Amino acid sequence: MDRGRLFFASCLALVTTSMVFSIRGDILDALGADFHLNNEQMGLVLSPAFWGFTLSIIIGGSLVDFLGMKRLLVLSSVFYIGAVLAIIFAPRPTAPVTPYYSDTGFLILYGSMLTLGLAQGLVEAVINPLCATIYAERKTQKLNVLHAWWPGGLIIGGLAAFAITNVMGLGPGVSAEQATLGWQVKLGLLLAPAVVFGLIAMQQQFPATERVAAGVSSGDMVRETMRPMFLLWFCLMWMTAATELGPDQWVASLITNLAGMQGILILVYTSGIMFLLRFFGGGLAHKVSPIGVLMLASIFSAIGLFGLASVSTPVQAFAAATLFGIGKAYFWPVMLGVTSELFPKGGSMAMAIIGGAGMLSTAFILPIMGEWYDRYGAAAAFRYVGVLPIILTVAFGLLFFYFKSRGGYRAIKIEGTEAA
């Protein structure tokens, strides 16, 4: 087993997953115009990607020990390739179709978004328990480094989309044919990393998960996910993921309308902040306390989102985005890291359920944000989402003092029988 190559394949798979987010966010307006869909309808088109993500991460994560991590990671690569090609070649209507869901192009677009979500979920279902297994001695740190490549992929995808926009002259007044070719070229970029990580996975030997290696039964794994603290963590993941991923998917369009600039640059900028904090600050969570980091992240996220709701210039947009980028940086990896440390007997199932909760919440928030956008404007969409990190600040604050009263936060060893 070559854990360096396994970790590299995991990082590349996550890069592919996040490139989907940045590129898909950049082409939303062009897709909507090509398929004659409004913002709320585009929100509905995006939702199955997150439903698929949720379904495959939960089911895939539960079956990792039975089907094998290798098979699932290769299957993810195949799904990426198939979905991208289907969207690129989907037939587009010449005018709005009523009802819109009766259009063949819409149905293919909807199904392809679902397939993209399935591919993304399979990646998360595999790489999180794989990382926790091959780096069992420093789980949270390596999960932070691994998930640094989430914003890394957002940056790669965002900058590539920005470059193509400028090279192809895809600004205002561009012809419909050129706009179509533009979004197809951007989406086609996903094929390269999808093929590469699939080929690497096919050539590697994968280990048994930590839970299986330790002899923890499937029954104990299920019981671990029924504990009250785990159920609370499940609920908190809904809000942290909606705070991070909902605005991420809409920010390109929202900032373009609020600040008169290419909003994709804000996504690239905040992703850069996230990459640096996760890659180089992976050990911060345990120096401060994972719960304390999550509380501070919630505070920064709330201030950043309310700031984004009031911007009117690029300078204001970058200032507010700085706070939001700092805030959202630690949500996903620390939530997963704490899951692996407090509920180790839950194994891949526990991590899959938490990751699935994050994707499910995003599936709900995207069409809601789209409706807010259509009905109340771009600023309101940011402002309403900003309520979530306020609630999280209170919740993580209470948890911080709860753990402090018990002697502080401590990771649970898998051989132990008691958990925090």
Q: Among 115-129, 169-183, 220-234, 326-340, which is the least confidently predicted range?
A: 169-183
Task: Say which amino acid occupies 398.
Answer: L
- Boundaries of every domain in the chain: 3-405
Tokens read off for 242: 């909606």
Backbone angles phi, psi at 253, to 5 degrees: -70, -45
With beta carbons less than 8 A apart as the criterion, state whether 259 and 313 touch: yes
Let me know if domain 3-405 sits in CATH 1.20.1250.20.
yes
Q: Confidence class of residue 419 from pLDDT cuts 50, 70 and 90?
A: very low
347: Cβ contacts below 8 Å, ≥ 6 apart: 65, 129, 209, 210, 211, 212, 216, 221, 224
Predicted confidence at residue 282, as pLDDT, reads 64
Mean residue pLDDT across the chain: 86
Is pLDDT larger for residue 12 or for residue 271? 12
User: pLDDT tens digits for 135-163?
Assistant: 877 777 788 889 899 889 988 998 898 89
pLDDT by residue (tens digit) across 359-369?
Answer: 788 878 888 88
- What are the pLDDT digits (tens) for 309-332? 888 888 888 999 899 999 999 898
More confident: 48 or 136:
48
Structure tokens at 71: 């098979």
- Name the one residue in this structure whose structure tokens are 């706009």: 179
Q: Report pLDDT digits (tens) over 237-274.
A: 999 999 998 888 777 777 877 877 777 788 788 889 98
Given this model, what pLDDT does residue 324 score? 93
Q: For residue 210, which of 9, 5, 411 has the smallest C-alpha distance?
A: 411
- Give dist(CA 67, CA 47) in Å, integer: 27
Residue type, 222: V
Q: For the residues 13-36, what does the mean pLDDT come to? A: 89
Question: Tens of pLDDT along 156-190?
Answer: 998 898 899 889 988 777 888 888 898 999 999 99
pLDDT band at 49 (very low <50, low <70, confident <90, very high): confident
Residue 381: which pLDDT band, with cuts at 50, 70 and 90? confident
Q: Which of 27-31, 62-66, 106-110, 364-368 has the highest mean pLDDT?
A: 106-110
Listed residue (27, 54, 342) closest to 162, CA to CA: 27
3-class state of residue 125 by DSSP? helix
Distances (CA, A) of 294 to 227, 298, 335: 21, 6, 8
67-87: average pLDDT = 94
SS3 category, 420:
coil
3-class SS of residue 264: helix
- Please provide the distance, in angstroms rounded to a whole number, between the alpha carbons at the two ends of the chain: 33
Quick one: average pLDDT of 33-45? Answer: 84
Q: How far apart (Å, rounded) are the C-alpha atoms in residues 131 and 142?
A: 7
Kindly tell me if the per-residue pLDDT of 224 is higher than 70.
Answer: yes
Given the structure tokens 């904090």, which residue do they identify? 277
pLDDT exceeds cutoff 70 at 3: yes
CA 1 to chain centre: 28
Residue 416: band (very low, low, confident or very high) from pLDDT cuts 50, 70, 90:
very low
> In the structure encoding, which two tokens stand for residue 55, read together?
């379904």
Looking at residue 206, the DSSP 8-state letter turns out to be P
Give the tokens for residue 262.
Answer: 């290419």
Confidence of residue 73 (pLDDT cuts 50, 70, 90): very high
Given a cut of 70, whether residue 286 has pLDDT beyond it is no
Give the C-alpha distances (Å, rounded to integers) separating 300 from 285, 303, 304, 315, 386. 16, 5, 6, 18, 10
Band of the pLDDT at 415, cuts 50, 70, 90? low
Distances (CA, A) of 200 to 17, 136, 148, 195: 16, 23, 20, 9
% of residues, the chain, pLDDT over 90: 36
Looking at 205-248, which runs of residues are DSSP E strands? Answer: none
The vertex-299 CA angle with 294 and 304, nearest 5°, equals: 120
User: Sign of torsion, CA 281 319 366 271?
Assistant: negative
| 109 CB burial (10 A radius; 0-12, 13-18, 19+) | buried
CB atoms within 10 A of CB 188: 14
The beta strand positions in 159-276, using DSSP E, are none
| Strands of 240-399, DSSP E | none
Question: Residues 375, 300, 233, 16: is their CA dihedral positive or negative?
Answer: positive
The pLDDT value recorded for residue 360 is 81
The contacts of residue 89 (CB under 8 Å, 6+ apart) are none
pLDDT value of residue 291? 92
| 149 contacts 18 by C-beta, under 8 angstroms | yes
pLDDT > 60? residue 418: no
